[in-house]
Amino acid sequence: MQVRERIEQMSDDLTSTERKLCTALLLDYPFAGLDPIQSLAKTTKTSPPTISRFVAKLGFQGFQEFQQQLISELKQGQRSPVDLQKVGAPIHGPFLESFLDRAGKVVADATKAVSESQFEYVCDLLSDKRRSIYVIGGRMSDALALHLSRHLRQIRAKVFHVPSDPEVWPEYLLRMRARDVLFIVDFRRYQDSLLTLAKKAVEARNVQVVLMTDKWLSPISEQANEVLAVPIDSGTLWDSYTGALALIEALVTRIAEENWDQTKTRIKDWDSVRLNFEDDGDD
């Protein structure tokens, strides 16, 4: 279990001093916890003994073990397919059946990672016609962002898929208005450029950031108003996006059904002006 999860589970049992310490740790997670214990005590206006008691309360033998856990989390968040292949669990027996069983578990675990209330809140954000929606993903995960944006465009107006080329990002930043939504998909081996984009969007344009990431949490989580941390580990050399895709499809289906009259009208209008370059394909 991650340090962040341990803190969240114990939040109701912490003293006021410990809650102040938690706030400092979570605001700059996990880096704040990697400072020397004397520096952390000075920053949080606590004391080394208070910090030692706190990490013991979290289940660690001492501050060193606490920091080793944080370092391990950082390494997990930067693992490449080469690293994952070394520690993955080989598939035995019929490959396709076994692989799909693992993918099914990832999807099932996604239901535990996002609460129903958070799901409904994100649906409300993405369906709010007063807000423009901007969507972007990373090197591989942008396919998920594109999937989301194309479905949303058939439901509502003012949805923009931000291209991967940072040279054109200023155009999109200048379009953004306060309370618009920037939906970012960023899984491990996180992209620094997406973090920069999120910071500029929040600081200069006052947008609301919704982040879809994994349990190791993209650094963008510090900028995000909502974090959808979905499972991606399938035990193979590739991270699995099946849970993330299922969540995206749940979002767009919920939004479409809750706004069906608007969606039906927009799809009809969309189809009426669609240029017939080719035969009709999948929606």
Residue 87 lies in a domain: no
Residues 129, 133, 138, CA angle at the centre, nearest 5°?
A: 160
Element (H, E) at 133: strand 133-137
Do 71 and 175 have their domain in common? no
3-state SS, residue 126: helix
pTM of the model: 0.69
Nearest to 226 by CA among 243, 205, 211: 211
Residue 82 lies in a domain: no
Residue 138 lies in a domain: yes
Which domain-ending residue is among 76, 100, 121? 76
Q: Which residue bears the tokens 């991606």?
A: 232
> Structurally, how many domains does the chain consist of?
2
Q: Is a pLDDT exceeding 70 seen at residue 78?
A: no
Q: What is the pLDDT of residues 262-272, one digit of tens each?
A: 999 999 988 88
Q: What is the pLDDT of residues 23-76, one digit of tens each?
A: 778 767 777 888 889 988 888 878 999 999 988 988 899 988 888 888 777 776
Percent of the chain residues past pLDDT 90, beyond the cut: 41
Look up residue 58 and give its two tokens: 């979290």
Q: What is the pLDDT of residues 106-156, one digit of tens each?
A: 888 887 778 888 899 999 999 999 999 999 999 989 999 999 999 999 999
One-letter amino acid of 241: Y
What's the CATH number where 265 sits?
3.40.50.10490
Structural domain range at position 252: 113-272
What's the CATH number where 31 sits?
1.10.10.10
The DSSP output letter for 142 is: H
Contacts of 36 (CB under 8 A, 6+ apart): none
Nearest to 141 by CA among 106, 184, 81, 100: 184
CA dihedral 271, 275, 278, 283 (to 10 degrees): -30
Which domain-ending residue is among 76, 97, 129? 76
Whole-number pLDDT of residue 79: 53
